[in-house]
């Protein structure tokens, strides 16, 4: 395996300068080919994700294909502008010179993607890598074999492996890839594995983009539209069976409206997935847990919590089904409040005011996303200003991740570096600053040595006025 990966990496290194020299039109042609292939093989994508997750075709379209298609269309519209050298103002002390920023490809990049959105989180970064003019090696998760096989077939029919290649395998394959001197590593996954990736990249001083996880809170103000808030929170939690990195992880709701909010939340889950436990178990719209290990982990979170199950709580080991579940009277020190849940369990805690909500959030690691529900613009903006997160929404959940104009990514423990649209293009580019001077004379020459009285006077004037 190692020798094969080294040979693949060498082929991409040999091709990187040719790929870097491609024009905007040539890169756009690659992206159009990927777009057309995705649309042509849409039903195969549905089948692959149904086999791995029992995921509905509609959810595949909305959460896997649409975001990639949106990324491609944004790049097709904007790529010439992104690639164009950008002039910047010249300080008066460098009068006569001109400054330009050029975005050049990083070279050969590695994209390690997770299992929870195996198409989107593999192809989304690839779109940015292609737009920026890189060669790329992709390593998707071994937990979604049907989707990985789909991606292998799709990409193998579009690109030569010296430009884009997909490597299958487990953690050992990822370890072997990380031993190679990539120019950039883009990783999406857990904070624990993110540390491993960063250490490996540090051996080669490779730059990294880390999109990690965390417990993304929802803050519900006393004046929020409770029905709309409940529907949007239930939708964000139910996507992919709760296995979404930016899913609402827990809710802090004002105690004045806590009971009413809980009733609306129950109603939302019933409307989406079925009015009875049997109907929800039979719903074709709720994805299953990815594997036995994660199912067992979620069962342990449920059984290890002293919280009150006010809705749901049913599980089925044979089908890895976990019902949408609402937990009340939750101990903040319990495992369900210490670990990222990554499943359809939703703790709801009451807070007496916004100050208590802010203190609760800020006492914990910085989340990947934070959601605020309030009719008061002042309160919503205050909550955003007094907390920190990778991103988020006001009066919605998850949707910021689909907005190609917004940077997505974490902060500190939830990751760093940004993706999507222009931000993704820049993540896979080196912003190279170029200063151009006249060929005969420039103002700085007035301050060359020897440092005579005149030169010292010029330096004094520069420090004082320029």
DSSP class of 185: E
Q: What is the distance between the alpha carbons of residues 101 and 86, in angstroms, rounded to a whole number?
A: 5
Tokens 């005969």, residue located: 440
**β-bridge partners, 104:** 430
Q: What is the distance between the alpha carbons of residues 376 and 291, in angstroms, rounded to a whole number?
A: 42
Pick the closest to residue 265 from 221, 308, 230, 223 (CA basis): 230
Asked whether 428 and 208 are in contact (CB, 8 A), the reply is no
| Beta strands in 108-213, from DSSP E residues, in sequence order | 108-112, 135-139, 164-166, 184-188, 207-211
Q: What is the three-class DSSP state of 179?
A: coil
Q: Where are the alpha helices (DSSP H) in 211-370?
A: 226-238, 258-273, 277-282, 292-303, 335-338, 354-362
Q: Where are the alpha helices (DSSP H) in 274-400?
A: 277-282, 292-303, 335-338, 354-362, 377-385
Please list the active-site residues. Answer: 211, 245
Asked whether 41 and 212 are in contact (CB, 8 A), the reply is no
The first and second tokens of residue 463, run together, are: 């420090």
Tokens 């689909």, residue located: 402
Q: What is the distance between the alpha carbons of residues 143 and 20, in angstroms, rounded to a whole number?
A: 33
Q: What is the distance between the alpha carbons of residues 289 and 79, in angstroms, rounded to a whole number?
A: 38
Q: How many residues comprise the chain?
A: 466
Q: What is the distance between the alpha carbons of residues 448 and 145, in angstroms, rounded to a whole number?
A: 65
Q: Which helix (H) or strand (E) holds 436?
A: strand 429-436
Asked whether 366 and 212 are in contact (CB, 8 A), the reply is no
Q: What is the distance between the alpha carbons of residues 161 and 12, in angstroms, rounded to a whole number?
A: 8
N-to-C CA span, the chain: 59
């Amino acid at each position: 395996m190692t020798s094969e990966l080294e040979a693949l990496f060498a082929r991409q290194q040999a091709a990187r300068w040719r790929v870097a020299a491609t024009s905007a039109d040539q890169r756009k042609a690659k992206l159009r080919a990927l777009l057309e292939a995705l649309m042509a093989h849409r039903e195969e994508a549905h089948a692959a994700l149904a086999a791995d997750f029992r995921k509905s075709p509609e959810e595949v379209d909305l959460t896997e294909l649409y975001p990639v298609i949106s990324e491609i269309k944004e790049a097709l519209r904007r790529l010439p502008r992104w690639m164009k050298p950008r002039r910047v103002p010249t300080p008066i002390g460098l009068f006569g010179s001109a400054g330009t920023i050029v975005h050049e490809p990083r070279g050969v990049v590695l994209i390690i993607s997770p299992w929870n959105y195996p198409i989107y989180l593999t192809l989304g970064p690839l779109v940015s890598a292609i737009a920026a003019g890189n060669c790329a090696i992709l390593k998707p998760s071994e937990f979604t074999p049907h989707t990985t096989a789909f991606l292998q077939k799709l990409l193998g029919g579009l690109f030569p492996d010296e430009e884009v290649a997909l490597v299958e395998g487990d953690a050992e394959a990822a370890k072997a890839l990380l031993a190679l001197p990539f120019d950039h590593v883009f990783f999406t996954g857990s904070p624990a594995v993110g540390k491993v990736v960063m250490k490996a990249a540090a051996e080669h001083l490779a730059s990294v983009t880390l999109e990690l996880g965390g417990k993304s809170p929802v803050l519900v103000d006393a004046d929020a539209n409770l029905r709309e808030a409940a529907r949007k929170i239930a939708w964000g939690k139910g996507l992919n069976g709760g296995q979404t990195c930016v899913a609402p992880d827990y809710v802090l709701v004002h105690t004045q409206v806590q009971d009413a909010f809980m009733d609306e939340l129950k109603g939302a889950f019933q409307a989406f997935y079925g009015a009875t436990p049997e109907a929800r178990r039979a719903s074709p719209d709720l994805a299953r847990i990815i594997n036995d290990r994660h199912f067992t982990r979620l069962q342990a979170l449920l059984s290890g919590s002293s919280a009150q199950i006010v809705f749901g709580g049913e599980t089925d080991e044979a089908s890895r089904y976990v019902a949408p579940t609402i937990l009340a009277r939750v101990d903040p020190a319990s495992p369900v409040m210490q670990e990222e849940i990554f499943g359809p369990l939703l703790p709801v805690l009451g807070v007496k005011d916004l100050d208590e909500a802010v203190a609760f959030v800020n006492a914990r690691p910085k989340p990947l996303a934070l959601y605020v529900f309030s009719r008061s613009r002042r309160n919503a903006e205050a909550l955003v200003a007094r907390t920190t997160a990778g991103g988020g929404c006001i009066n919605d959940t998850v949707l910021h991740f689909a907005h190609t104009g917004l940077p997505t990514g974490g902060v500190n423990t939830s990751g760093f570096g940004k993706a999507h649209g222009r931000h993704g293009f820049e993540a896979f580019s080196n912003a190279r600053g170029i200063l151009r001077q006249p060929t005969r004379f420039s103002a700085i020459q007035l301050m060359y040595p020897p440092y005579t009285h005149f030169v010292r006077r010029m330096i004094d004037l520069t420090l004082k006025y320029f």
